[in-house]
Structure formats: C-alpha cells, structure tokens
A and B are shown apart, each in its own frame.
Chain A
C-alpha cells in the first residue's frame, strides 16, 4: 500500500540564507516544484534557525492552494491514486518534506556564519528513515556546494530497494503493532528459504518450512510451529517422531498404529513450548524431543515459570527430579529451533521493520522500514513525550470553559482537552518559542496520532497539520479549518486566530477567549434531553439494572446538566482515570507501544460510544453497528457497557464532544471508513468486537449467548484473513486470546468444541500460534488436552469405522464438566 507510491523521493531541495536577500531556494532537483519558492525557502529556514546549530523541520505540501505543487512534468502517480478517489476527493496526494537546516559558524565567512538547508520531498509517511542519508548529503553540500549533491542524494534514495518488504493488510498491521514479538509475521518475509533448518528436524519427513500462510492442509506441509506435535512413546525407536496433527487425521492415525499412544503419555508441543502430560517416566524422554523441536526462548521461560510455581497438579511436569539444569543446557545450546527460519540474518532481527540500505557515496546506510504504520502516522512521533510535557505540575490551563473541550469541567486533563479539540475540529497551535522547530513539529505529529488513535481509527488530521509553519507565504495555513500547527514565533499568540494554544516551553494550555463566538455551544446539553426521553425505549430492551435505577440516574443527570451547565468536574471520571493510568504506565517505563495501543483503544471506544450516542440522539447511526442486545438466536451488537447505569453516565459525559465531532470532517471520514470496512471485512454478518467485549466484560453471561458467540466465531474464522481479523481484536495487552480460552472450560460441551475449532484454526497459521503461545499454561494445557482428545476420537473413528455417538465418552472434558458443575 505504502510501498507502491512511485519513487521514494520526489524532490530534493536546497535553501540558503543569503545575507543580502534573505532565505532563498537555491536548487530544486530534478525539476522545479511549481510552488512558491519564497514559501519553501522560509519553511526550510525556520524562524531563529541561526540560533540552533542543527534543526530538523517537517512540513507538508499539497494541503492548501498555496503550497500545492505543480511540477512541469507530472509525477507518475499523482493523479492515479486509488486510495483517495474512493473518498470522492480529487485533492492531490500529500507530500511529506523532511528538512535539515544547519548553521555553521565560520569566522572566515561574511558575518560569521553560513545557514543552509536541504530537504527531501517524499510520499512515504515514515520520513524518519531518511535522516541519516540527509545528514551525509548536507555535510557533502557544505563541503562542496553544487547541484551534484542533490542529484546524488536523489539517486541514492530512489535506488533503495524495498521490493522485498511485505505489504500488510489493515488487520495485520493491528496485530503487528500490538505485538512485541520480534518474529511476528516472520512468514511474510517470504523470499529466502532455509533448507538446513528442515534437515535439522530429525525424522520430520513432512516438515517443510514453507513460509506461506496459506499452507496446503491436505498435504500436511506445516512448519513445526503450526501444529501440535505428537511424539511417540518410545523416543529411542527412531529418534523423535514429530508430526503435524493437522496433516490429515487418517494418515496420522495409521502411522500411529505401530506405536499406540494415549493422551496420558504423550507430550504436546505448541509452537516451541511444551506441555507435559502423563507420568514422570516419560518426561525425561520427551525432553529430548523438546530439545530438538522446541524454540528456545519460550520454552525456557515457560519451564522456569512452571518450576517456580510448582503447578504440578495441572501440568504434571515435575521435571525437577530429572535434571532441570540439563534441560536448560539443552536449550541454550546450539540447537536448531523452529523460530530460526524466521530470524534469518540479513532480512530482519525484528519483523516490525524491513531492513534495507541506502548506498550513498560508498557507505551502506542501514534503513529500518517500519511495516505497521498508517498514513496518519508521520515521522517518529512520541505520545509519551506529548503526555509528559502536558502532565507536569507547571502546566496551567486557562481560558473559558467550553463544552466541546472541557468534558470534565475544570478537572479535564490537558491531554484530554487536546484530544477533544482534535476531534471536534478546533484550531490548535503548538508554540515553542526558542525551541528547535523540529521538536515543535514532533508535538504536532504526536497530536495527529493522538487524535487518530495512532492512525488506526480516525483520519483527516495529517491533511490539516502544519508541523512547522511561519509567517511566510501569506499565512495561507491560518485559513485552513481546524488546522493543527506548530510555530516557533510568539507573534501568533497575539495575532493568530486559534482556538487552543499549547505552549510547549512554558506548559501553558490556553483556550482562546473568543472560543464561544467561533464555536457557539448551540445545543448544550445536547443529548441529555433525548436521552432522558428515550430512556423508556432503552429500558424496554431489557437491561440488567432495575428500571427505577435507570430512571433515577437519567433524571439526575438531566437535572445536573441543566442546572450546572454540564461543567460538573469529577476527579474520578473515566478520562481522568485513563490518563492517570497512562501516566503511571509511563513512569513505570512501559514503552511507547503500550501507550499507543491504549490510545488506539481509547479512540476506538470513543467512536463506538459516539455510535451509540447517535442512535439515542438521532435514532440511527452511520458509525457502527446499531446496538442491540442478545436475543434468542441473534447476537447483540454495538458498544458494551458493564451496566446500563454506566452507559447513561458515559453518554451524558461525552455528549458535548460527540456533538462537536459529528460536525467535523474526521466524522465524515469515519462513516465512510465504517461503510468500507463493513463491505470488505473478512468476518461478516455480526459485530465481532461486541461479542469479544461481552466475553470480557459481562458477568453472568447466559449459556445460550456464549454458545452462539463461540459458534459464530468458529463458523466465521475459517480463512487466514478471518483469523487475522479475529486476532486483531485480541491484542496481547488486553489479554490476548484469554476471553476465548475461558470458553475451553465452559460447562457445555458444544461451547468447548466450538472453541476448540477456533483454536485449531488459529493453530494452522503462524500468527495464530504466536497468540496461542501467549496463553498461560493452564489454558494452554486445557487446549492441548482437548485437542488431543479430539484427535484420538477421530483416530478411533477411522480405525473402527464406527461413528461413536456424538459428544459422549470424552473423559477429560466430562471430568472437567463434573468438577465445574460441582463447584
């Protein structure tokens, strides 16, 4: 998607500060952009550039009529951009400009210094990867100023080879960004095959490391990660027998005949980590098998947790007596592992990136191309930095309260004010006087990511973002509605027209005093009234809370908001708790990934909440599935609240900003996107997220609903695309597969069976295996045990050719049913 955009670098620019005439654009390569040269030069030489030795700035082209480029020779793909034409828009594609400006103090030069800047114009949003080569090129230009430097840079960048980079779908990106595994989607790096690794797996005759995700299940060619491996009882017989269970049950059964095995004495390996079943005498033998077949990292860690917890009763490992240290030695030794093929050298140590290089003047500059970014994520922004800057003690919030912005009255956290301003389309100005323009630009880019849920949920922020803006070019950008701009010039505070000012240097958050005239809060409290009036209908839908309860809450909320003009500030509002949670996560050194995931989640929830609000206020929604409860035979949909009272509270608290958002462009984009996704999603026909939320949140879920949920998922998760979509909604930080895995312990046979179906399907894809490995041992054991039982059953069936009555005589499951129902 992002990779098919024509040349990596569309233009290279060079600007200089001329002592006699000012900022001037010296070179444009390979051809003039057709945009105003003065504007470009002034953007490349930011205000106060002479006070910083080096500064990176970022700006975009093709946003306003004034900064739209019109090259003499049309660029290859400018017009034929499929992504945008879908939206019914004909605006040219955004061009991202990464600029490096440097001030060299030089006593020999007139007036003591030389200021030069070089910029790369590209269509890739991940502009940060070009920083090293731009540094070298500008150095070059300082040493030897000529247009050749630009040509060299242009050619070097455009000869970068990223043809081998895997292109991920939307849901694959979700999974990748949520996963911290460095081998996630390793199978996508499909180019090289490693023949020796399959040789190392002794006796695995059908163990091809075929790295395609759509493996042919009929021939049973799965990589060892894919399957549950069954090891024969007697490992001395012919080494270790490993076989993928999914390779077709009949063959498996027949080959198993000479070595009859039972679940009690086999060990299962699930993608490198093993679960032991059976008596201890077998374990020692089986360890050999693991040492050969297992991945090192996961097993070692897994075993050690086992040992430390001593959960003998559940996994019956008790390996302590049999040389635990030996086991460790085996793992740490040079043992070929299943994950090896994916960690091949030269391609990537971390599959989140595609490693390539740019050859520049004999240097091979390593380039790490991020694979899971969305177009709304430009550069290497940092949400942590943004949150930290505006969460310190010195941060002051001033200006009038506005219902769109102050969703929690005077206690609204600055970051939430910023988020509200972003989604409700306020004009936001980041001011960093005496701060390098590059830093200011990063705040703008972070804000865009904040508003869009890290590019995953909403869009339309980057197109109105001006990471670095100045007075040049007639301040064209100021007239852009709902701009998000970064400036270093304090003149904009007094003269600019903005709605929210975020001063980075002093930590001031200022709401413009005229905000009520530029954004009249017309229908505040907008949704409360319809909410109260519609309480009846909602109540009729059958909720868990008692009727009086709801009525009381609804009217109380209504009263509150009408009396106190809904600026009631609660220190324990959901948003405040969310931000507190984030800050404590940051202070305990959780990474940027987690913060991003949390915000993606937050924005996703906001959209679903807005969808519900729309239903309540307007009767129908264009944002998502309309909410419906579970009724016999049909699944529910829409946002899930712990209970109805919480729903009303949250809707009332969010009403104003949702109203504001509904008038913004990102809302329109969101409705378009929802329609598009609904048409193209692999899992069709029901609201998947609703079902998973029900499993996660709701207490006392009825058996009927659980069964229907699990069965629907099982029926709709049959292909790779569907597996990926399901997993995308189950990120590791939210517990991974946990909500589903609990269904393995459900008292109803059919629920357990359907869950088994889902997990079996997951297991046949490498990415699914990674998620299964994320389960804890108890859950994993439950799965392996039941899967094995089923396999045995199938085996018996085929050997006896007598179909046993369905759902009978399955000791392990029955036993668990007894124990569960006994509780």
Chain B
C-alpha cells in the first residue's frame, strides 16, 4: 500500500511538479531554522546553532519543491531581509509567541519589511511558534499585537504552531503548497 502510494507520489511529482520559493524571516531564536529542519527532515532539536547570514534548502513535499531561504534574524542581518524576500512566492514570518516582550520589535520589523516597495503583494504567513510553551500568545493576540489587520494588498495568514510538537504543521504546509505554481 505504502509502496503504491509512493509510486503515485512519484508519478504526480513528474506530471504535476510545482515549485515555490519561500523566505523565512523573523527575529533571532524564533525558530526559523527549526521550521526549515522540521519540514525538511522532520527533525527537531533543542539547540540549533544560530544561522550566520542565511541558509538555503530545497525541500520536496509531494509534488511541490520548496526553495527555502532561511535568513538570520539578528539586528545586523535584518537590513538584508528585503534582498532575500525579493521575488519569492511567500514570506514566512516566524514569531516566538512565548516571548511577548519582543512583540514591539517584531511589529516594527514586520511592517518595516512589508513597506518595501519590492515586496508589494507578496503573500505573508505569520507563524506564532512555540505554542507548546504555556505562556504563549494566541492567534488573536498576535493579530492585535502585530497589527496584522492593518496589512493591505496581500494575502495574510496567521497560525499558532509548534515545531517541537509539530502542532499545526500540516496546515502550514498546505498553505505553502497553495503558493506554488
């Protein structure tokens, strides 16, 4: 059965191959590299060595090949986000939803990025990561805190998820697959 399905997947990947280029941004230590690791190889680890500058991965999920730019989130790299987001099919903005003190910074950086003229119309997915932590903010809180309702001219989605428990990851993947072409 599994053999049959894998053959089916293989055929569909030939005939219905799709691709999507995605940039993953967000403040440092919010779980960007974890996100890429989890959807890439299903592996999660507590300590991820911080990314210097960027990380580029190709991940195939079913018929869709994702080209993922995983960009470092430290303040000194944030000016380069725009370069990596330029021309992609979707921007994934990862937020550490358990670190509510940083929400001001997150809001500032997010709106700063979206104000770039080169990113007009690019779909945005905001992930409230680390919802396995008890003190995490809900989706509603995130939308309010990050003023997601004020974003216009592009599809915006916001999910609460956890890379550790892989909660909501299927929805996230489906959302991303819809951006492929």
A residues lining the B interface (CB < 8 Å): 17-24, 38, 41-42, 45-50, 103, 105, 107, 111-113, 115, 433, 470-472, 489-491, 494-495
The answer on a CB contact under 8 Å between A103 and B49 is yes
How many Å from the CB of A4 to the closest CB on chain B? 38
The answer on a CB contact under 8 Å between A433 and B53 is no
With A48-B54, A48-B55, A491-B69 known as contacts, the answer to whether A112 contacts B49 (CB < 8 A) is yes
The answer on a CB contact under 8 Å between B52 and A23 is yes
Residues of B close to A48: CB separation below 8 A: 51-55
The answer on a CB contact under 8 Å between B49 and A21 is no
26 contacts between A and B (CB under 8 A): A17-B50, A19-B29, A21-B74, A21-B76, A22-B28, A22-B74, A22-B77, A23-B74, A23-B76, A24-B76, A45-B52, A46-B52, A46-B53, A47-B54, A48-B51, A48-B55, A50-B51, A50-B52, A111-B50, A112-B48, A115-B50, A115-B52, A490-B56, A491-B56, A491-B69, A495-B87
Quick check: is B83 within 8 A (CB to CB) of the other chain?
yes
**Which residues B27-82 have CB closer than 8 A to chain A?**
28-29, 47-56, 69, 72, 74-77, 80
Expressed in whole angstroms, the Cα–Cα distance for A45 and B49 within the complex equals: 14
Quick check: is B138 within 8 A (CB to CB) of the other chain?
no
Closest to B67 in A: A490
Residues of B close to A433: CB separation below 8 A: 56
The answer on a CB contact under 8 Å between B53 and A113 is no
**1/0 contact trace for B75-95 toward A, CB 8 Å?**
111001001101100000000
A46, A112, A470 — which one has the most chain B CB atoms within 10 A of its CB? A112
The answer on a CB contact under 8 Å between A472 and B80 is yes
Closest to A490 in B: B56
Closest to B83 in A: A471
Closest to B74 in A: A22
Interface of A, helix, strand, loop or mixed by DSSP: mixed
The answer on a CB contact under 8 Å between A49 and B75 is no
With A19-B50, A50-B50 known as contacts, the answer to whether A491 contacts B76 (CB < 8 A) is no
Residues of B close to A107: CB separation below 8 A: 47
Residues of A close to B55: CB separation below 8 A: 48
How many Å from the CB of B3 to the closest CB on chain A? 32
**1/0 contact trace for B123-149 toward A, CB 8 Å?**
000000000000000000000000000
Residues of B close to A112: CB separation below 8 A: 47-49
Residues of B close to A47: CB separation below 8 A: 52-54
Residues of B close to A38: CB separation below 8 A: 76
The answer on a CB contact under 8 Å between A41 and B76 is yes
How many Å from the CB of A652 to the closest CB on chain B? 43
Closest to B47 in A: A112
Residues of A close to B29: CB separation below 8 A: 19, 111
Expressed in whole angstroms, the Cα–Cα distance for A115 and B53 within the complex equals: 12
Neighbour of B83 across the interface among A41, A50, A103, A491, CB < 8 A:
A491
Residues of B close to A115: CB separation below 8 A: 50, 52
The answer on a CB contact under 8 Å between A17 and B56 is no
The answer on a CB contact under 8 Å between A42 and B50 is no
Closest to B51 in A: A50
Neighbour of B49 across the interface among A113, A471, A495, CB < 8 A:
A113
Residues of A close to B86: CB separation below 8 A: 495
Closest to A37 in B: B76
How many Å from the CB of B51 to the closest CB on chain A? 6
Expressed in whole angstroms, the Cα–Cα distance for A49 and B50 within the complex equals: 10
Residues of B close to A105: CB separation below 8 A: 49
Expressed in whole angstroms, the Cα–Cα distance for A495 and B74 within the complex equals: 23
The answer on a CB contact under 8 Å between B74 and A20 is yes
Expressed in whole angstroms, the Cα–Cα distance for A105 and B74 within the complex equals: 20
The answer on a CB contact under 8 Å between A22 and B49 is no
The answer on a CB contact under 8 Å between B47 and A22 is no
How many Å from the CB of A502 to the closest CB on chain B? 18
Expressed in whole angstroms, the Cα–Cα distance for A578 and B29 within the complex equals: 54
Neighbour of B76 across the interface among A22, A49, A490, A494, CB < 8 A:
A22
Expressed in whole angstroms, the Cα–Cα distance for A103 and B50 within the complex equals: 11
The answer on a CB contact under 8 Å between A20 and B28 is yes
How many Å from the CB of B105 to the closest CB on chain A? 11
Residues of B close to A22: CB separation below 8 A: 28, 72, 74-77
Expressed in whole angstroms, the Cα–Cα distance for A433 and B48 within the complex equals: 21
Closest to A52 in B: B52
Residues of B close to A495: CB separation below 8 A: 83, 86-87
Expressed in whole angstroms, the Cα–Cα distance for A107 and B49 within the complex equals: 10
With A47-B54, A111-B29, A115-B52 known as contacts, the answer to whether A19 contacts B76 (CB < 8 A) is no
The answer on a CB contact under 8 Å between B53 and A21 is no
How many Å from the CB of B27 to the closest CB on chain A? 10
The answer on a CB contact under 8 Å between A471 and B74 is no
The answer on a CB contact under 8 Å between A470 and B53 is yes
Expressed in whole angstroms, the Cα–Cα distance for A494 and B84 within the complex equals: 11
Expressed in whole angstroms, the Cα–Cα distance for A18 and B76 within the complex equals: 10
The answer on a CB contact under 8 Å between A19 and B74 is yes
Expressed in whole angstroms, the Cα–Cα distance for A491 and B88 within the complex equals: 11
5 new A-B contacts, CB < 8 A, other than A42-B76, A111-B48, are A18-B74, A22-B28, A22-B76, A24-B76, A49-B53
